[in-house]
Amino acid sequence: MIYSVPDYAINYLVYGDTDNLTIEDIENIDNWLIAEQLEGATISSISDSSYFTHKPCFGLPCCCYDVEFIGGNE
């Protein structure tokens, strides 16, 4: 499935990098992964460019990338 993932979350999702993230950001990302049953999922693709959306998969309106996940707890 493809999700509109906030740009600030990409490094955390790909590399586990928490630099420039607040504890609240990390909790929001982790809670979203649990809710969508994406724990342990692999990112199969990330769009080349970001876009602004009022409806990211979590958080407030922001710039996002389209991210496709495979696997997880589905």
What pLDDT sits at residue 25?
A: 96
Calculated CA dihedral for residues 9, 13, 17, 23, nearest 10 degrees: 60
Q: Look at residues 2, 61, 58, 63 and name the one whose alpha carbon lies nearest to residue 30.
A: 58
Domain ranges of the chain: 2-70
pTM of the model as a whole: 0.90
Q: What is the pLDDT of residues 54-73, one digit of tens each?
A: 999 999 999 999 999 998 76
Q: What is the pLDDT of residues 5-63, one digit of tens each?
A: 999 999 999 999 999 999 999 999 999 999 999 988 999 999 999 999 999 999 999 99
Distance CA 71, CA 28 (A): 20
Q: What does the DSSP assignment read for 16-66?
A: ---TT--HHHHHHHHHHHHHTT-TT-EEEEE-SS-EEES--SSSSSEEEEE
